């Protein structure tokens, strides 16, 4: 009984909420990939967006590496310097971050959804 309670508690703690993202809004970012982080519990895309005052770095949260792998993503799917477009659900607080929805890679090919 104690083992079952520990597994349930660990599963609940490992799950993350997406409440910080505005699921009713979408934002399209065109920029240059700074880094593709293939990490647990979530992968991240760091993308630089050119602006009048210089580039702004956006952090785009994705699903876990295991989940992305099942959809065809690999650690080298994106490389620093790639010109990409990503569609995100932005954070509600207006920070330069969001939740990945879809994207287009450097060759113009669609990136699989998250």
Q: What sign for the dihedral angle of Cα 87, 61, 13, 71?
A: positive
**Per-residue pLDDT, 17:** 72
Domain residue limits at 55:
19-111
pLDDT digits (tens, 9 = 90+) for 12-50: 445 567 788 999 999 999 999 999 999 999 999 999 999
The reply to whether 28 falls in a domain is: yes
The reply to whether 10 falls in a domain is: no
Task: Tell me the pLDDT band of 6, cut-offs 50, 70 and 90.
Answer: very low
**Per-residue pLDDT, 15:** 53
Instruction: Identify the CA nearest to 29 among candidates 83, 92, 79.
Output: 83
What average pLDDT score do residues 80-89 get? 97
CATH number (domain holding residue 57): 2.40.50.140
The reply to whether 62 falls in a domain is: yes
The reply to whether 13 falls in a domain is: no
Is residue 41 left, alpha or beta, with left meaning phi > 0 and alpha meaning psi from -120 to 50? alpha
Which region among 4-18, 37-51, 77-91 has the lowest average model confidence (pLDDT)?
4-18
Q: What sign for the dihedral angle of Cα 86, 35, 107, 41?
A: negative
Q: CA-to-CA distance for 26 and 103, rounded, in angstroms? A: 12
> What pTM, to 2 d.p., does this model score?
0.81
Phi (first) and psi of residue 6, to 5 degrees: -65, -40
């Amino acid at each position: 009984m104690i083992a079952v309670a520990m597994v349930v508690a660990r599963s609940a703690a490992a799950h993350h909420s997406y409440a910080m993202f505005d699921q009713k809004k979408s934002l399209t970012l065109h920029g240059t990939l700074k880094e593709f982080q293939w990490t647990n519990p979530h992968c991240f895309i760091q993308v630089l967006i050119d602006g009048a005052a210089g580039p702004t770095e956006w952090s785009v949260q994705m699903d876990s590496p295991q989940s992305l792998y099942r959809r065809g993503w690999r650690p080298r799917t994106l490389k620093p310097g790639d010109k990409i477009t990503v569609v995100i659900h932005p954070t509600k607080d207006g920070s330069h971050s969001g939740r990945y929805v879809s994207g287009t890679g450097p060759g113009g090919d669609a990136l699989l959804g998250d």
